[in-house]
Amino acid sequence: MNITKEKILSDLKNVAMIMFTKEFVDTSKEDQYKVFATVIKAYLSENWLKENENYRIGKEKQVYYFSLEFLLGKMMYTNIINLGLEDICMEAMKELNLDFKEFEKFDAEPGLGNGGLGRLAACFLDSMASIGIPGHGCGIRYDYGLFEQKIVNGEQIEGPDNWLKNGFVWETKKSHQSKRIKFYGDVTLKEVGGYLTPIHTGYETVLAVPYDVPIVGYKNKVVNNLRLWKAQIEGNDFDFNSFSYGTFSELDEKKRKAEAISKLLYPDDTTESGRLLRLKQEYFFVSAGLQSIVDYNSKKGIAPNEFPKTFSIQINDTHPAFCIAEFMRILIDEKKIYWDEAWEITKKVMSYTNHTILTEAMEKWEIDKVQKLIPRVYMIIEEINRRFCDKVYQKYDDWDKVMDVAIIKDRAINMTHLAVVGSHSINGVSKLHTEILTKKVLKNFYELYPERFNNKTNGITHRRWLLRSNKPLTTLIDEAIGSDWKNDPILLEKLAGFSENREFCKKVEGIKLENKKRLAELIWEETGIEVDVNSIFDTHVKRLHGYKRQLMNILHIIYLYREILENKEFTMHPKTFIFSAKAAPGYYLAKRIIKLINSVGKLINDDERVNKFIKVVFIPNYSVSKAQIIIPGSDLSEQISTAGMEASGTSNMKFMMNGALTIGTLDGANIEIKEAVGEENIFIFGLKYEELKEIEKKQSYNPIKFLKENPKIKKVVEMLRDGTFGGDFSSIYSYLIDGDRYYVLKDFNSYSETHKKIDGIYRDRDRWNSMVVKNIAKSGNFSSDNTVRKYEKEIWGGCCKFCVNSKN
């Protein structure tokens, strides 16, 4: 299709007339957005249709990425870029006097995720489409995202994230491909024709209705699919007679219960009803997705024993781990495959990505809930566990060994164990993370299946996080090294030759300043705080959690506050500390840390003795679209998790790609960033994982003793309970003294000294700029294109249609 400015203007006119019976220029700004987005969707739909047909008749192996989260961000500009229509669309908008910044406000940001898990999934979908892998997502179409965060009197207030309130242009409902999901009831096994057949009675049925979202590859005419499932009741969902009499019927209650499954991302699982709903969600989208995949392949005439050659399923964290048992159920009960063959097929199809070493984050489901809700699936899990335990006992003759790896233990199902046992590949997401998995967390499984374990360090899509987020830097890079790096991001390494080019470095610095001005505008709009764009923008944005140590950051700010007041000779380069994070609604400590950050910020920002040196801002409701402004405008990236706790991290890569230097521990992908850029181009502090394990082993961490030996830090900690910040933060004080499992105080001095070092280097603008360019040059190593190519080659095998510039 030859798309010109004239065609776009003509199509806008025609679509506006069809949708609103008005001339395009006479419609509202929101309606103009809907028209423009509809036109762009029409352009990509031609390739979407062709690609779906190619996949249907072709023999390429397809990948299905199962994840509870997909944080796609606003899609309009990304789709325009990937279609190669950016310049033409901007020309058309200019002719129509449209401001794209105002225009994009109406582009819904899908509330389909919480944090890094969802951002990673979105990057992987983008990369699969862009390098030619037939790779599709499978998730839930949540009516409401995690929550909309507001800060009131310094505290987090949660409200509904109603992202669908004005519709979502990019989705297409496919009612005719709906699937039936069975919950509850009783299952008995009956021999029919020499085959044990399950008889399921008394069950409740929920309908899973698919909504497809196009995932557009970068200038290659590939459009893959993200399939999101919405829950509703089967058949008529409206009781006319009851409604007429002003009463509510059993049908109304059934409708409410069914729709609750896809109502909200991560319902509160601290209650019984919340946990049951979370369990329903996990099985709901797994069953719907697998039924859809099996039906699709069966219609192509593919026999079950050929499934491993035609598709792969990637389980993203343990939420979709029911894939193992549900796939077995489909093969055994519906396709009449005997157990041993079905199990071999399942293992070959399934692969599992682990994202945590924190045992509390590894899902376990109570037997009674699973048995009651999905009785047949529980029977299959029980049999998987029995057979697996028998094999382990035959190998070791040791029941303690068996219990260490059992899938079912202490009246609960360990979903990590199920995912490991039922997959042919288990990967960590950074070198250190994978090492910890194989040597500690999953050590016993590694002894059983060493060939299954591998590392795939996470990556980010440079199309969203550089081309989309930082156009001025993208243009400068094109001028310096050409544009081939957009298809092969490793070519960014050519920028290393410009790291000592003062003129080039100054241009990079100028772009950073403009991006900081844009970020300063966002800060003003969101908080009413005016910040100095010539200060160091020191940014800490990620989910609020103890191990990510936002607490250490704010304690250091309090330390600086005291130094400024007590030391009349004190000086430092002005610094703006930027935070943005959501705390889980039930995570009390995290919410108190948010309150502390805002309380400290108010005290500092209002004090003229201090605010000439430091300011503190908290940007509410962190999202992909805000990250696209925050990250390009930051000078310093805080990646300060306790060593061994962060599986990988991806924000570290995004900051690096946009010219922010990293202050971080030797944790997750920080280690690989250090290896790439050299230790002289990153600010590493704190104890190593091995050192912390030794401290843990000897139980030698004593916060009270540390504070006695460090009186200045003790005074900082004491301020948490003396009313300085206009509130009682004694719970944080108690945590630091009695329950600090993340070694905040242990790493504090190293963190503080590293900040002093940063202050000195930042003043040497030539040195700082050179370091920035070296980081950008190495950031292509962390493109998700590279990561996904490794998945394709080493896990999925043979599904790449036309890997562009494949190096691996």
Q: Cα–Cα distances in Å, from 168 out to 104, 174, 476, 492? A: 13, 15, 34, 35
DSSP one-letter code for 264:
B
Q: Cα–Cα distances in Å, from 134 out to 295, 311, 737? A: 17, 10, 52
> In DSSP terms, which residues pair with 639 in a beta bridge?
664
Decide: 758 and 681 in contact? Cβ < 8 Å: no
At position 532, the amino acid (one-letter code) is: D
- 650 catalytic residue (yes or no): yes
CA 693 from chain center: how many Å? 28
What is the per-residue DSSP string for 317-378?
SSTTTTHHHHHHHIIIIIS---HHHHHHHHHHHEEEE-----GGGS-EEEHHHHHHHSHHHH
> In DSSP terms, which residues pair with 537 in a beta bridge?
576
Active-site residue, selected from the candidate residues 141, 545, 615, 654: 654
Decide: 437 and 361 in contact? Cβ < 8 Å: no
CB atoms within 10 A of CB 258: 24
The first and second tokens of residue 577, run together, are 């500390």
Decide: 655 and 679 in contact? Cβ < 8 Å: no
- 355 catalytic residue (yes or no): yes
Contacts by 465-468 with C-beta closer than 8 Å and gap 24+?
A: 465/628, 465/631, 465/653, 465/654, 465/657, 465/658, 466/657, 466/658, 467/81, 468/77, 468/78, 468/81, 468/628
Q: Which residue has tokens 């029919």? A: 192
The phi and psi torsions of 294 (rounded to 5 degrees) equal: -65, -45
CB atoms within 10 A of CB 744: 23
The phi and psi torsions of 120 (rounded to 5 degrees) equal: -65, -45
Decide: 637 and 537 in contact? Cβ < 8 Å: no
The H or E element containing residue 808 is none
Q: How far apart are CA 109 and CA 619, in angstroms?
A: 17
Active-site residue, selected from the candidate residues 74, 119, 545, 548: 548
Active-site residue, selected from the candidate residues 141, 230, 543, 545: 543
Decide: 449 and 421 in contact? Cβ < 8 Å: no
The first and second tokens of residue 639, run together, are 């990646």
**Contacts with 566 (C-beta within 8 Å, 6 or more apart), sequence order:** none
Contacts by 525-530 with C-beta closer than 8 Å and gap 24+?
A: 526/619, 526/620, 527/617, 527/618, 527/619, 527/620, 529/601, 529/605, 529/615, 529/617
**Contacts with 202 (C-beta within 8 Å, 6 or more apart), sequence order:** 184, 185, 186
Q: How far apart are CA 433 and CA 671, in angstroms?
A: 11
Q: Does residue 256 sit in helix, strand or coil?
A: helix
Q: Which residue has tokens 């593919």? A: 302
Nearest to 720 by CA among 599, 623, 601: 599
Q: How far apart are CA 142 and CA 587, in angstroms?
A: 22
What is the per-residue DSSP string for 137-164?
EEEE--SB-S-EEEEETTEEEEE---TT
Q: Which residue has tokens 């004080």? A: 733
Active-site residue, selected from the candidate residues 353, 356, 434, 650: 650
Torsion sign over Cα 292, 293, 295, 296: positive
Q: How far apart are CA 519 and CA 660, in angstroms?
A: 14
**Active-site annotation, residues:** 355, 542-543, 548, 650, 654
